Amino acid sequence: MSYLLIRPLLFSLPPEMAHHMTLCMLSILHRLYLLKPFIPAHKTDTRRVMGLDFPNRLGLAAGLDKNGEHIAALSALGFGFLEIGTVTPRPQPGNPKPRMFRIPEAEGIINRMGFNNRGVDYLIEQVTRTKFKGILGINIGKNFDTAIDKAVEDYLICMEKVYPYASYITINISSPNTPGLRDLQNNDALITLLGTLKEAQKKLSMAHEKYVPIAVKIAPDLDNAQIKNVAQICIAQKMDGVISSNTTLSRQGVSRYRHGQEMGGLSGKPLFEKSLYNIKILRDSLRGEIPIIACGGIMCAEDANRMIAAGADLIQIYTGLIYRGPRLIKDCA
């Protein structure tokens, strides 16, 4: 109830400002030990996925805490795991503002942030300062000015740096807001990228005496044949997980609303049915050999249950949290 009272005030602010203010407020409340009374109790439902024991199936998707500055506060909300990032080797400002747009009539958000972040070294400083003991995924990408044929070098830099601190690492090759990034989902490019990262994973696991799983985050706009091809490559390269999906370029369900034609990736409720359909294709294509993390348009417990029934091992939320508040965490977990 408390979030429903606060939401009109937050929604009166520009989305990116409200985003920043909310995270800062959560961190302040957490440091003052005032956050817990506002958080509904949740149950533990441990699941072993990718060799890791998750306290519950619900995670926070990448993008909310790009720099890992609010890990402690976010972990107190009841998530079974957190994913921070996307982070790049070098800091970058992202795309010009405004670059985030609410579509409240459809419970959607369009963003064209463009991997704005303070760089991988800054993120690592935040992680080490927090001393978080839960399951932490770190989502990595390439700098906007790195050529696609050199992208693997950026992923290697990030992977080598975050490896000691991550529970798992997500390879983001599916954001629509970095030019050319989605080309890495194509056959030869994907084989090269994942094969190189898998070799690096072997060396890093020996150097650090621990195995950190690698998940691949794909786009929702792939057709059935493309999804099946990505699945086969992930199996062949022995990836540890697939996250489906990132934001969509489709404007189905939002085109008639204000901001519905803004450039960028659409997330939230309009994405759910497409995400659910893709999970079913992935389930059939992966044949249980690689676990699936479902992300895209989950707005209630029923949505979460449908994703799990369709084949997801874990689920993630982001936009649903913006519209429904912390109660969604309890309901889904």
Query: Which domain CATH number covers 301?
Result: 3.20.20.70
| Residue 8 confidence (pLDDT) | 95
Bridge partners (DSSP) listed for residue 170 = 139, 215
- Which residue in 27, 174, 175, 244 is the catalytic one? 175
The answer to pTM > 0.95 is yes
Residue indicated by tokens 């606060």: 6
pLDDT tens digits, 113-142: 999 999 999 999 999 999 899 999 999 999
180: left (phi over 0), alpha (psi -120 to 50) or beta: left
Regions of the chain where pLDDT drops below 70: 1, 40-42
| Residue 73 confidence (pLDDT) | 97
What are the strands of the beta sheet with 108-111, ordered from one edge? 100-103, 108-111, 265-268
| Residue 232 confidence (pLDDT) | 98
| Residue 36 confidence (pLDDT) | 80
pLDDT tens digits, 20-78: 999 999 999 999 988 887 776 667 789 999 999 999 999 999 999 999 999 999 999 99
| Residue 231 confidence (pLDDT) | 98
Residue indicated by tokens 């440091």: 31
Distances in Å between the Cα of 13 and the Cα atoms of 17, 138, 311 are 6, 29, 38
174 is catalytic: no
HEC secondary structure over the chain: CHHHHHHHHHHCCCHHHHHHHHHHHHHHHHHCCCCHHHCCCCCCCCEEECCEEECCCEEECCCCCCCCCCHHHHHCCCCCEEEEEEECCCCECCCCCCCEEEECCCCEEEECCCCCECCHHHHHHHHHHHCCCCCEEEEECCCCCCCHHHHHHHHHHHHHHHCCCCCEEEEECCCCCCCCHHHHHCHHHHHHHHHHHHHHHHHHHHHHCCCCCEEEEECCCCCHHHHHHHHHHHHHCCCCEEEECCCECCCCCCCCCCCCCCCCEEEEHHHHHHHHHHHHHHHHHHCCCCCEEEECCCCCHHHHHHHHHHCCCEEEECHHHHHHCCHHHHHHC
| Residue 1 confidence (pLDDT) | 52
Is-contact 265 175, C-beta < 8 A? Answer: yes
Domains in the chain, number: 1
Domain that holds residue 173: 2-332
